[in-house]
Amino acid sequence: MTTAPLVDADPSPLDEAEFAALKAEIRDYVEHEGERWTQLIEDEHRVPAELWDELRGRGYLSLAAPRSVGGRGLPFARYLELIELFSRPHASLRMIVHVSNGLWRSMLPYANEEQIDRFVKPQVAGDIRVAFTLTEPNAGTGADIKCSVTRDGDTYYLSGQKHMITFGHTADYLLLAARMEGSRGSDGTIALMVPAHGEGVQNNLMADTMGVIGTDHAHLIFDRAPVPVENRLGEEGDGLNVAVGGFLVPSRISVAMTCVGLASKALDLAVERSKQRETFGKPIATRQAISFRLAEMATDLEAARRLTLHAAETWERDPSAGAKESSMSKLFASEMLQRVTDGAMQVFGGMGFFKSPIERVYRDARAQRFEEGTYEIQKQTIARELLA
Ligand SMILES: Cc1cc2nc3c(=O)[nH]c(=O)nc-3n(C[C@H](O)[C@H](O)[C@H](O)COP(=O)(O)OP(=O)(O)OC[C@H]3O[C@@H](n4cnc5c(N)ncnc54)[C@H](O)[C@@H]3O)c2cc1C
């Protein structure tokens, strides 16, 4: 394992004024360019390469990574303030930012110097696209994975299937967890950087999704796909540690903050609508039924934001801690998002059911109940710590 630091020695690369300027710039970007991309993605059902290029050109894909690998080295809690903003326009835009700013966390602690140059730095720079590849059609997500490799000299041969892989169809590499053939549990797992369109890889584009429109998802079938041993991150047996070890806890917190950002968009839309829509001679905002609903939504949202920041602080203080808090924030924030988007939809009345910003937010929100684990999986993590 390399000794490359997960965070830079200097934890504050930007002073308060510089960070405030960056945040204002991003707020302006998501409210203007972000909304234009939202319209285009919803109309055309695709994420144009130009959007990736624009985000990369503005430096938004390398905000969180340490400066030692080409990132801007923002402290995690500061990055969360930005991901909250990126979650307000289209979910596919946020997905690009989230994935690009998060994947290095899996790779960096296990990459050797050569792999840092070949995979980590180009990923942080946005020169290569990497897709996080864990979920399988015929197994549970974790020590149950069935994708397997055999080794012959300097080559692994990979067989099995993965599906629902975000940006897997357009990726250059798959950061993939498999197991040594014949092994069981976590011990025989292995993490490989697999060329996404290499020999022995059938890379199929999956059907359209209900929300997060435009992001491609891959169903991958591997038939003795050759992968050089030099593409292995960590040792044989480290597979799940690479895939979920240092990555999952901050990623769940980042997903929780995504829920906060998307819910704030839903709330803003509902507040605006409640002031404009008049029935029986008065704006519906003047009715207690509506204003109390909005008040409950705002309270719910703020509680989720605070719990998420608490999880972030816990993890930043001690990166080996925070699993319970991270799952609590993901659980609470994704349930909050469900309540808030449903409440916002109700404020819109029947018009909310027609194609519109609130209808898009409602669809995008549902995906957050899967990303980085379902409710049930979060509850298992929390209960495990409680009952230990
Ligand atoms: C839009 C989208 C993008 C995705 N992108 C990626 C990606 O980039 N990379 C990737 O690897 N995966 C990705 N996934 C997969 C995602 O992580 C999984 O959908 C999620 O972890 C749930 O796993 P599953 O779908 O296999 O559900 P299943 O395991 O089939 O679970 C079905 C239900 O049973 C429950 N359940 C399962 N096991 C247990 C248990 N032991 N105890 C109690 N309840 C249980 C689950 O909580 C769920 O409610 C994506 C999914 C979606 C929808």
Judge whether 6 lies within some domain.
no
Domain boundary among 219, 240, 261: 240
Q: By the 8 A CB rule, do 257 and 83 touch?
A: yes
Q: Is any ligand 1 atom within 6 A of the Cβ of residue 373?
A: yes
Average pLDDT of 260-270? 98
Q: Is the pLDDT of residue 173 over 90?
A: yes
Judge whether 272 lies within some domain.
yes
Q: Which of 112-126, 186-200, 238-252, 351-365 has the lowest mean pLDDT?
A: 238-252
Substitution site in 95, 130, 141, 363 for ligand 1 pocket (most atoms within 8 Å of beta carbon): 141
So what's the pLDDT on residue 245? Answer: 81
- Whole-prediction pTM: 0.95
So what's the pLDDT on residue 2? Answer: 42
Q: Is the pLDDT of residue 9 over 70?
A: no
CATH number, domain of 236, equals 2.40.110.10
Q: Is any ligand 1 atom within 6 A of the Cβ of residue 161?
A: no
Same domain, residue pair 236 and 265: no
Number of domains, the chain: 3
Q: Is the pLDDT of residue 3 over 70?
A: no
Pairing of strands 155-166, 148-152: antiparallel
Q: How confident is the model at residue 355 (pLDDT cuts 50, 70, 90)?
A: very high
| DSSP H helices in the chain | 16-31, 33-44, 49-57, 76-86, 91-102, 104-107, 113-115, 121-125, 239-240, 248-276, 288-317, 323-348, 357-367, 375-387
Q: Which of 64-73, 208-217, 221-230, 316-325 has the lowest mean pLDDT?
A: 316-325
CATH number, domain of 349, equals 1.20.140.10
Judge whether 307 lies within some domain.
yes
Q: Is the pLDDT of residue 246 over 90?
A: no
Amino acid at 172: D
Residue with tokens 């369109």: 197
So what's the pLDDT on residue 11? Answer: 58
Same domain, residue pair 106 and 149: no
Note the pLDDT tens digit of each residue in 205-226.
Answer: 999 999 999 999 999 999 999 9
Q: Is the pLDDT of residue 164 over 80?
A: yes
Same domain, residue pair 142 and 73: no
Domain boundary among 69, 97, 125: 125
Judge whether 2 lies within some domain.
no
Same domain, residue pair 82 and 196: no
Residues in the chain: 388
Same domain, residue pair 185 and 283: no
Same domain, residue pair 115 and 138: no
Q: Is the pLDDT of residue 12 over 80?
A: no
So what's the pLDDT on residue 81? Answer: 97
Judge whether 10 lies within some domain.
no
Q: Is the pLDDT of residue 5 over 50?
A: no
- Higher-pLDDT residue of 9, 330: 330
Domain boundary among 72, 103, 125: 125
**Active site includes 372?**
yes
- Higher-pLDDT residue of 4, 155: 155
- Determine the distance from the C-alpha atom of residue 329 to the mean position of all C-alpha atoms in its chain, rounded to a whole number: 14
Atom index in ligand 1 nearest the CA of residue 166 equals: 8
Question: Could you give the CA distance from residue 260 to residue 268 in angstroms, rounded to a whole number?
Answer: 12
Q: Which domain holds residue 297?
A: 247-387
So what's the pLDDT on residue 141? Answer: 85
Judge whether 11 lies within some domain.
no
Judge whether 9 lies within some domain.
no
If DSSP codes are grouped into helix, strand and coil, which group holds residue 193?
Answer: strand
Judge whether 1 lies within some domain.
no
How many CB atoms within 10 Å of residue 346? 13
Same domain, residue pair 196 and 283: no
So what's the pLDDT on residue 7? Answer: 47
